Copies of this chain bind each other. A is one copy, B any other.
Amino acid sequence: MNLDNKLTLTISCPDRVGLVAAVSQFLAKNNVSILDANHHTDSETQWFFMRHEMLFDPEVISFEDLNKEFTFIAEHFQMKWAITPKKIKNKVVLLASKESHCLTDILHRWHEQELDCEIVAVIANHKEMEKFANWYQLPFHHIDFKTDKSAAFTQLEQVIEQYNTDTIVLARFMQIFPDALCQKFKHQVINIHHSFLPSFVGAKPYHQAYERGVKLIGATCHYVTADLDAGPIIEQEISRISHSDSVQDMVRKGKECEKSALARGLRYHLEHRVMVQGNKTVIFAD
């Protein structure tokens, strides 16, 4: 199996009889093998979602022709679709502030080839993060958000664009993204919030959780939108706590949730397993 010929096909469109037949016939005709297939029809909206991992044979049909010919089917069924070759890697920028656990967790998973992407840069408003970028021989950009927040975000935008970034990961980056950036990079900015949303939106969620006396804490990986902590949820994780846990203990236990929810959410995103529908996500998890 030549992985260079591996493709991911994602489709969303109104559900209709004959849809799966048309797609699978097209693939069979062009000798494309289906490695993995997932469908979902939202029963409320009658909207159809599909993800295929598949293998094409360039001697039968070129990638360009495959795309061109699929356009006819796509138009007929009014599809939002994409065919992505596995060999083209997503360019990712990591943003951090003061806490390094999510940053180093992602860096090490990437180093171990668990995350299928190209990390192009690390950006932080705290210089202590530079060390970690250096370890993995990545460019580091320090941006100061204290003096002029607006200028800082302009600088951030420039760095993001300079790398042709596909995905921006807020690995415990504690600055609130302005609306314009949320719009511009819609469904491209992934945040980890340190509570099981919608509980404890905003600042100091572990303190909020401590005050409320909950018995479970959590973390939520979601796309960033203009509404703070209200974007489409990709993944959540929780951990059991007790009365004997101080806020500091909750922070420690919560870090585990943050790391795993972010790592799973990011992996789903990079492997085109996440499809956004309104303010919700369809996740074709593996």
Interface on A for B, CB 8 Å cutoff?
Answer: 17-18, 20-22, 24-25, 27-29, 31-43, 100-101, 104-105, 108, 112, 114, 135, 196-200, 212-216, 218, 232-236, 238, 242-246, 249, 252, 256, 260, 277, 279-283, 285-286
The residues of B that contact A36 with a CB separation of less than 8 Å are: 39, 41, 244
Given known pairs A100-B112, A260-B256, A281-B213, the reply for A31 and B17 (CB within 8 Å) is: yes
A40–B242 Cα distance when bound, in Å, is: 11
* 23 CB-based A-B contacts, threshold 8 Å: A20-B24, A20-B28, A21-B21, A22-B28, A25-B25, A34-B41, A35-B41, A38-B38, A40-B244, A43-B246, A100-B112, A114-B252, A196-B199, A212-B233, A213-B279, A213-B281, A215-B234, A216-B218, A238-B238, A242-B285, A243-B277, A243-B283, A244-B286
Residue of B nearest to A30 (CB): B17
The residues of B that contact A199 with a CB separation of less than 8 Å are: 196-199
Number of copies: 4
Minimum distance in angstroms from A286 CB to a CB of chain B: 6
A27–B135 Cα distance when bound, in Å, is: 49
The residues of B that contact A198 with a CB separation of less than 8 Å are: 199-200, 212, 214
The residues of B that contact A32 with a CB separation of less than 8 Å are: 17
Instruction: Determine which of B28, B39, B105 lies in contact with A18 in the assembled complex, contact meaning CB atoms within 8 Å.
Output: B28
A238–B280 Cα distance when bound, in Å, is: 20
A114–B246 Cα distance when bound, in Å, is: 14
A108–B255 Cα distance when bound, in Å, is: 12
The residues of B that contact A28 with a CB separation of less than 8 Å are: 17-18, 20-22
Minimum distance in angstroms from A5 CB to a CB of chain B: 14
A182–B36 Cα distance when bound, in Å, is: 34
The residues of B that contact A114 with a CB separation of less than 8 Å are: 252
